[in-house]
């Protein structure tokens, strides 16, 4: 862990192969039992839970004072191991084939889901992170991992629109979900035009916070 984190921070080398090569070339006197690249890679994989605990500790101990602890932002991003047009060969027990609407592409990989505290006029600070296969829905992750949080105002995108679930969440946990307004299929044109200005203003406000 020391080798991995030190070389990423000081040398800006981000692949395990480059990290091992730098350690082998320049840090051998510090780590005489470094071993081969495959052995180093295997040991890192076995330390996944240690990295998880370290990350949780960093989130807790270095949280900035300007965080709004009762306001959380939700988002996700794809971690692509290969194109959806190819056959997956990397981490097949963890990855699957998903679709990223933002990039308009199919891919093999995983998805990173982030829950973060809102901060004024700067990027949010992570509270929790989940890694799932690419096909796992953002709302499913929220229900399983974060729906027990009380007295919280969440800001998410349209994937989190589920009136029945979040009505129950508000009643039981005093937590609400704010999302952009989603058009109602079959709504008459007169009502749609009448509500458009208010709906657009609300959607813009939510999007600006996120």
Question: What local confidence, expressed as pLDDT, does residue 4 receive?
Answer: 96
Is the pTM of the predicted complex or chain greater than 0.85?
no
- Beta strand 153-155 pairing with 125-133: unpaired
pLDDT for 187 beyond 80:
no
Summarize the confidence of residues 128-143 as an average pLDDT: 95
Question: What local confidence, expressed as pLDDT, does residue 94 receive?
Answer: 87
Considering the chain, what percentage of its residues have pLDDT values greater than 70? 100
Q: Which residues contact 145 (CB under 8 A, 6 or more apart)?
A: 113, 115, 128, 130
- With bands split at pLDDT 50, 70 and 90, how would you rate the model's confidence at 167? very high
**What are the helix (H) ranges across the chain?**
2-11, 16-26, 37-46, 48-61, 138-141, 163-173, 189-209
pLDDT for 185 beyond 80:
no
Question: What local confidence, expressed as pLDDT, does residue 102 receive?
Answer: 82
Query: Measured between alpha carbons, how far is 125 from 142 in angstroms, rounded to an integer?
Result: 18
How many alpha carbons fall within 13 Å on the CB side of residue 206? 22
Summarize the confidence of residues 67-91 as an average pLDDT: 91
Summarize the confidence of residues 96-110 as an average pLDDT: 90
């Amino acid at each position: 862990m020391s080798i991995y984190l030190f070389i990423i921070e000081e040398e800006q080398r981000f692949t395990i192969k480059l990290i091992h090569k730098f350690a082998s070339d320049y840090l051998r006197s510090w780590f005489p039992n470094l071993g081969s690249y495959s052995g180093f890679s295997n040991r890192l994989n076995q330390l996944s839970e240690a990295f998880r605990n370290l990350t949780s500790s960093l989130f807790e101990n270095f949280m900035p004072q300007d965080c709004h602890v009762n306001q959380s932002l939700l988002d996700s991003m794809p971690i692509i191991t290969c194109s959806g047009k190819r056959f997956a060969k990397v981490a097949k027990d963890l990855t699957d084939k998903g679709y990223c609407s933002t990039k308009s592409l199919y891919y093999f990989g995983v998805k990173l889901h982030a829950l973060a505290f809102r901060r004024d006029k700067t990027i949010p600070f992570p509270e929790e992170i989940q890694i799932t296969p690419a096909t796992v829905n953002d709302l499913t992750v929220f229900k399983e991992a974060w729906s027990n949080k009380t007295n919280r105002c969440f800001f998410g995108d349209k994937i989190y629109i589920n009136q029945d679930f979040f009505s129950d969440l508000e009643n039981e946990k005093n937590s609400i979900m704010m999302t952009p307004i989603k058009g109602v299929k079959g709504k008459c044109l007169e009502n749609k035009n009448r509500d458009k200005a208010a709906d657009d203003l609300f959607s813009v406000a939510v999007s600006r916070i996120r």
